[in-house]
Amino acid sequence: MPTLSPQAPAPPSWQWPRFRARPALVLLGFCLLLGLWLGFTVCLTILADRGTVPGLQPFVWELTGALGAWAVLPILFTAVLNAPGPRVGWGRFLGVHAVAFLLYTTAHIAMMAGTRQVLYALFGWGAYDYGAMAFRIPMEAMKDFISYGLGATFVSLFTAWKERQERALREASLEGELRAAQLQALTGQLHPHFLFNALNTVSAVMYEDLARTDRLLSDLGGLLRASLERREATWTLTEERTQAARFVALLAARFGERVSVRWDVAPGLERAQVPCFALQALVDNAVKHNQDRTEPLEVRIRAREEGPDWRLEVEDTGRGFGSRSPASGPGVGLAHLERVLALLHDGRARLERGQGPEGGARVALLLPREAAP
C-alpha cells in the first residue's frame, strides 16, 4: 500500500511594507530637524576649535546625511518585516539584516555623495571632495551600523507593541460577541420559564369567562411579543414593571386572592436598567415554590438606592429557602439570573438570597449605580 509522506513546510513568503503619508511625513520632519541640529553642532565644534565656519556647508553635510537616511528607510522596514527577531531562526534573522544593512549603507553613502556634488555645484562652491574613500566608506558604514541598529530595534519594538494592541482589541471584540451570545441564550432560556405557566392559566379559564380570557390573551400576547422581539439583555425598570404587571394579571386569574403583589419603587429609579424578565422569574419562583399552601401568599417588590448601588428585591410570605418545596429542581431562574448579572457587570453586581420577616424567601439584585441613570 502506498504511503503519503509529509509535505515539507512552505518557505515563508516575502513581505513588503506599506507606507502611509502621515507617518512618512512625520519621519521626514524628524530627519529634517535632526539634520539641522547636527549641522548646528558641527558649526559650534568648528568655532570651538577657533576655525572659520564655511558658510552653510556644515548644514548641507548633515542634512544630506539625515535626509538620505530617511530615503533608504524602506530597506530597514522591509528587513524588520521579514526578520523581526531571532524567533524566525538565527540564519534568516542574521542573513536578512546583513544583506539589508549592506544595501542600506551603500545606498546611503551613494545618495550623500551624489546630492552633495549637485548642491556644491548649485551654490557655486566648486567640486565636493569626499576625501579618501578607503577611509570614508568604513567611517560612514560604522555610523550607519549604529543608526540601522537603533532604527531596526525601534521598529521591531513598535511593531510588536502594535500587534499586541490589535490582538487585544480582537480578543476584546470576540469576548464581547461571546458575551452577547451567552446573554441571548440565557434570556432565551429564561422566557419559557414563566410563559408555559401562563398558557396553562389561559387554558384553565377560557371556558368560564370569555371577556376575562380576552384580557388574559392580550396580556399573554404582550409577554410573548416582548419575549420574541427583545434583543438587548436589559431594559428600564418601568418596562420591566409593565411586563411584570401582565404576568401578575395571569397569576391573579390562576390563583385568585391566594396571591397578591405589592410594589414599592423609590422615585428616580424608573429608568434604572435591569435584566429583562428578572422580576417575572422571581415572582414565578415565589409562586411555584408555594403553590401547595392554602394560606394567602403576598409578594413584595421593592426598588431603592443602597449606598453606591441600588437594590431590586422580591420578598414573599411563603415557606422560604429552608423548607422543602413542591417544585423540583434547583431553581433555574435564580441560576440564570446570577449568570446574567456576571456577564453584564463583571462581578460588580450580585444576587442575594435571604429570609423575610415572616420567614419567606427574599431575593435581591444589587446593581451598580451606573445601571440607574
The pLDDT value given to residue 242: 86
Backbone torsions φ then ψ of 19, nearest 5 degrees: -105, 145
Q: What angle do CA 259, 265, 266 make, to 5 degrees?
A: 155
- CATH assignment, 191-321+329-371: 3.30.565.10
The pLDDT value given to residue 4: 43
Distance separating alpha carbons of residues 319 and 359, to the nearest angstrom: 7
Inter-CA distances, 270 with 123, 238, 249, 299, Å: 79, 5, 21, 20
Backbone torsions φ then ψ of 90, nearest 5 degrees: -60, -35
Q: Answer yes or no: are the C-beta atoms of 123 and 56 closer than 8 Å.
A: yes
- Please give the full DSSP string across 214-225, using - where no structure is assigned: HHHHHHHHHHHH
Q: Measured on CA atoms in the order 140, 145, 151, 155, is the torsion positive or negative?
A: positive
Q: Answer yes or no: are the C-beta atoms of 323 and 364 closer than 8 Å.
A: no
The pLDDT value given to residue 49: 87
Mean pLDDT by 10 residues, the chain (373 residues): 44 75 91 92 90 86 92 91 79 89 93 91 88 88 91 87 83 61 50 62 72 77 68 82 83 80 88 84 85 86 87 90 66 72 80 88 85 45
Distance separating alpha carbons of residues 208 and 275, to the nearest angstrom: 36
The pLDDT value given to residue 197: 65
Beta bridge partners, 261, equal: 299
pTM: 0.49
Q: Strand 297-306 relative to strand 259-265: parallel, antiparallel, unpaired?
A: parallel
**In the chain, where does the domain assigned CATH 3.30.565.10 lie?**
191-321+329-371
Distance separating alpha carbons of residues 248 and 156, to the nearest angstrom: 64
Distance separating alpha carbons of residues 178 and 92, to the nearest angstrom: 39
Distance separating alpha carbons of residues 65 and 72, to the nearest angstrom: 11
Distance separating alpha carbons of residues 279 and 343, to the nearest angstrom: 18
- Please give the full DSSP string across 103-119, using - where no structure is assigned: HHHHHHHHHHHHHHHHH
The pLDDT value given to residue 5: 44
The pLDDT value given to residue 111: 92
